[in-house]
Chain A
Amino acid sequence: MIMLALAVGDLSLLLAIPVIGALALALIPKRYTQALFSLALLASIGDFLWSLNIFNRFDGSTGEMQLVERVPWMPSFGIEYIVGIDGISLFLVILTTFLMPLAILASWSVREKVKEYLFFMLLLETGMLGAFVALDLFLFYVFWEVMLVPMYFLIGVWGGARRIYAALKFVLYTMAGSLLMLVAIIYLATRHAQLTQVLTFDLLKFYNLHLPFNEQFWLFLAFALSFAIKVPVFPFHTWLPDAHVEAPTAGSVILAGILLKLGTYGFLRFAIPLFPDAALAAAPVFIALAVIGIIYGAAVAMMQADIKKLVAYSSVSHLGFVMLGLFALNMQSVQGAIYQMLNHGLSTGALFLLVGMIYDRRHTRLIEDFGGLWKQIPVFSSLLLVVMFSSIGLPGLNGFVGEFLILLGAFNVTPRWTAAAATGVILGAIYMLWMFRRVIFGPLTNPENQKLQDLNGREILILAPILALIVFMGVYPLPFLDRMKPSVDLTLKKIFAVQASPVTTNHNDAGDKNDGR
C-alpha cells in the first residue's frame, strides 16, 4: 500500500481504494454474497485505515493545503487534477471513511442484488471523498455529480415503496442547482482568464480574484443555490424527507451522515470565500433562513408519525445550526459549525441505524406501533437513549460542544436570531424525548413487540464505535478544534481581507499562452 501511495500520492490512493474494491467485486460470482460483503468491508476498512495514516501525518499547525497533488488533465484548457486537504476537509474525510464500513456492515440485511449494491456503495465513497479533497473546480464538479449516480441507484433499486419517485426527485433537485453552478464555474474561469491571462480552474488561484460586486452576486447565487439544495436549507428541503424515507438504511446513513455535509462544506470552501462581498451581503438572509429551518424542522419533526421521517426533519433543524454558524462568520461559530457537521454525521447516522434495526425486526417505523420497548429490548433502548442525548445536545456528549460554539459565536453577531435559534434546542429536546417516551416507555401493549429480539453482536459492533466517538468528542474536543483552527483562521482572513489591488497578476503559469479555444 505504501508503494502504491508513493506512485499515485496519498489522497489519490484514498480515492482509488474504493474503486479498486468495486472493480474487484466484479470478479466474484454473484452467489457468494458473504465473499462480496467481506471484500467490500475490507476495501472500506482499508480506506479508513489509510485515512488514519493521513490524519497522523497531517500537520495541525498550518492552515494551508497539505498533501497536494497536481496532475495536468486537460492542460490546454487549464483543467488539472488537484487534490489537497486542510483542517476543514480532514475530519469530513475521516467521517466518510469511518461511516462507510459501518454502513456496509449495516447492510447485511440486503439480500437481493448484493453485488450491484456494494458496487454502488464503494463508488459513492470515492465520489464523496473526491468532492471533499478536490481543489480544482472542474474536478470538484465531476465528483459532485458522480456522487448522484450511485445514490440514485441505491434509493431507486433498494429503497421503499415510492423509491422511484424519491430517487428522481433527489437527482432533479440536486442537478437543478448544480447545473447552474457549472455555468458559474465556467464564467468564473473565463473572467479569471480575462483579468489575469491565466487559464485555470484552480480554486486557490480563484481565491485571489476580486470581482465587482454585481458579478459576485450572481456567481454566489448560483453556487449557493446548488449547496443550499444539498444541505438542505429551508425552503429547498422538500426532497430530503422523501429521499430519506425511501432510502435503504445504509443509504439514509450516508445521505444524512455525509452527503448533506457536502452542502455546508461547499459553502465554507467555495461559495463564501470565492465571493466574500456577496456572501457578507447575503449573510443576514442565510442566517434568517437557517433559523427558520431550525424551528420549522423541529416543529415538523414533532408532528411525524414515522420515526425515520422524524429523524429526517431533525436533520433540517440540525443543519440549520450549521448554516447559522457558517454565516455568523467568526472563529467560534465556524469551528462550531464544522464540529456540528461531524456531530450530526455521527448522531443522525446512529439514529438511522437504530431505526433500520428496529425496522428489520418489525417492518414498521410508525411510533404508534411501538411502546414499552425498554423491558423487551434494553440494549437497543439504552443505546437509543445515548444517541438521542447526543442529538439534542446534552452536555458531556458531542452535540453540546458544537451547538454551544455556534450559539456563542453567533450571539456576538446577531443576538436576536441566535436567541430564536436557541429555542430550537429546546424544541429538539421536546420532539426527541416525546418520541422516546412513546416508543420506549409505557406499557408493552402490542403483542407483536413481545417477540422482539434485542440487538445482536454485529449490530452492537456497528454502534459501538459511533457511541465511543460521541462520548469522546463530548468530553475532549480539543484535538479536533486545534487542527481546524489554522484553516478556519485562513478562510476567515480570506473573506475579510481588504484587497487593495483588485487583481493579482503575479501568477505566471504554463497555461499562459493558451487562448483556450
Chain B
Amino acid sequence: MTDVNLMPLLPAAQVLLTALVVMLLDLFLNEHEKGLLAWISLLGLALCGGETVILWGSQESAFGNTLILDNFALFFTQLFLVAAAVTILSSIQYVRDTKIHEGEFYALVLFATVGMVLMAAANDLIVFFLGLETMSIAVYVLTGMWRASSRASEAAMKYFLMGAFATGFLLYGIALIYGATGSTALNQISAYLLEPMSDWPLYLVGGGFLLLVGFAFKVGAVPFHFWIPDVYEGAPTPVTGFMAVAVKAAAFAAWARLLMHKLAPFDSDWASPLWALSIVTMTVGNLLAITQSSVKRMLAYSSIAHAGYLLIAVVVGEEWGGMPLLFYLLAYASMTVGAFAVVTSLTDENNARENYTDFAGLGFRRPFLGMAMSLFMLSLAGFPPLAGFVGKFYIFRSAVLSGHTALAIIGVLNSLLSVVYYLRVIVAMYMEEGGAEGKSFGQSPYLYLAIALAVAGTLYLGIVPAKALEWSRSSFFSIE
C-alpha cells in the first residue's frame, strides 16, 4: 500500500478538527461566552466549504481505494455543510433557552456531519459503516439532548433502539456479501457481480436484501418507517430539521453510490420490490400526513412521502435517475430545513406550539414567517415556480423516460393527496383567526437568517435551476 494521499480525507478532517476545537474551548469559556462556539462551528463549516470548492473536479482515492474524493462526494459534502450551518443558525436561540449544553450540541452536529461526509465518500462497505455509525450515534445523542423534555428522551430511546436494529441488518448484509465475494471493497464486489446470476451463492442475494432493508430503515421507507413520526416529533425541532434533511440525504447518498452505481446488478434485480416500496412509501406517508393535527408530525410523515418520491429515482436507475435524485435532495433540503425552522420559531422552552391551531393567523401577525412557510408548503406540494416543483418534474420525467409511466402517474396522484395537508397549514395561517402568542424563538435574528436562506434556496432552485441541474448531473456521473 503505497498510497499516502490524504487529500480525500480533508473535508471530513476539517469538520472533525472544528468539532474538537469546539469541545475543547467549551471547557474554558464562561457560560455567557459560549455563544462564540456557534460562530466557531460556522467558521469551520465555511472553511470546509471553501476547501470543497477548491477540490471540485478532483478524482482521487485514499487508503487502498476505500475512500474516494469525486464530485459526487463533494456535492453531498456541500449539502451537509449547508444543512449543518442552517441547523446551527436556527439553534442558537433554542439551545440557550432550553439550557442544552451549547458546546456539546454544536460539537455533536459537527461530528454527525463528519459521519455523513464519510458516507458520501465511502467506497468500501466498512468505511461506509463507520461513517453511518459516527453520524447515527451523534444524532441519537442530539435527539435526547434536551433532558428536561421527556418527549425528547423517549424519542432518543426509540431512535437508538430502532437505529441499532437497522444497523444489525446492514452489518449482517455486509457480512454475507463479504462471505460471498471475499471483499468489502465496492469495486471488487461489483466486479464479482458481473458473473452470471446463476453462479451467485444464495446468501449473496440475501446479503443484498439485508442491505436494502437497512437502507430502507435509514431513509424511513414504509414499512420500516415506524420510528420516524415519534422521533421527529420528540427531538428538538432544529435537530428534527437536521435529521429530515441531512441524515436522509446521507442515507440516499450512500444508497446512490452503493446500490444504484456500484452494485447496480443488485439494483436491477430488486427493481420490482423497490417499485412497490416506492409506491407504498409515498402513499402511506401522504395518507397518514393528512390525518395529523400537529404540523411537526405532519412534516415527519411528509418526509416519508418524499422518501417515496426519491425512491422513484432509485427505481429508475442510474442512467436517468441519478441527476433527479441529487437535485431533488437539494430542493427537499432547502424547503424542509426552512419549514422546520419556522416551526422552531413558534416554540419556546415551555410551549411546543406545533399544532395547526398554533399557526392560526400567523400570516397576518408575522408576515415574514407566514410568507416563508407558505412558500415552503407550496414548494413541498409541488407548485411552480418553486424548488419542489422542479425536483418533482425531473423525478417524474426520469420515470417516463425509463418507461415507468405508471410510476409517474402514481407519483402525481400522490402529489395531489399531499396538497390537502400542505394547504391546511396555509389555511391555518391566513384563513383562521388566531390568538396572540407569547415569547418565542422567533425573535432571534439568526433564526430569521436561516429561514431567509431557505427561502432564497427554494426560490433559486425553482426559478433558475439550470446551474443546479448541471451541477447535479455532473456530480452523479463523476462516480467511476
Contacts and interface: CB of A to CB of B under 8 A. Distances in A.
Decide whether A and B are members of one complex: yes
A206 interface: no
B323 interface: yes
Interface stretch (A170-178, A365-373, A446-454): A170-178
A175 B378 CA distance: 13
Interface string A136-147: 001001100110
Contacts of A183: 396, 400, 405, 408-409, 412
A176 B393 contact: no
Interface stretch (A37-45, A58-66, A148-156, A478-486): A148-156
A74 B385 contact: no
A387 B413 CA distance: 42
Give the interface size bracket for A toward B: 35 or more
Question: Chain A: interface secondary structure?
Answer: helix
A304 interface: no
A363 interface: no
A73 B423 CA distance: 29
Interface string A169-197: 00110011001101100110010000000
Given A113-B364, A183-B409, A153 B384 contact: no
A168 B425 CA distance: 12
Interface residues of B, number: 37
Contacts of A156: 426-427, 430-431
A77 interface: yes
Interface in B440-474: 465-466, 469-470, 473
B137 interface: no
Interface string B397-409: 1001100010011
Nearest to A119: B371
Interface in A60-107: 72-77
B288 interface: no
Contacts of A153: 426, 430
Interface stretch (B75-83, B127-135, B414-422): B414-422
B414 to A, nearest CB: 10
A157 interface: yes
A517 interface: yes
A180 B473 contact: no
Interface string A227-251: 0000000000000000000000000
A153 B323 CA distance: 34
A142 B477 CA distance: 29
Contacts of B363: 116
Nearest to B324: A517
Contacts of A146: 383-385
A210 interface: no
B163 interface: no
A118 to B, nearest CB: 14
A149 B378 contact: yes
B420 A172 contact: yes
A82 to B, nearest CB: 15
Given A113-B364, A168-B420, A517-B323, A157 B430 contact: yes
B320 A517 contact: yes
B383 A179 contact: no
A182 B393 contact: yes
A516 interface: yes
Interface of A: 72-77, 113, 116, 138, 141-142, 145-146, 148-149, 152-153, 156-157, 163-164, 167-168, 171-172, 175-176, 179-180, 182-183, 186-187, 190, 516-517
5 contacts: A113-B364, A164-B427, A164-B431, A187-B405, A517-B320
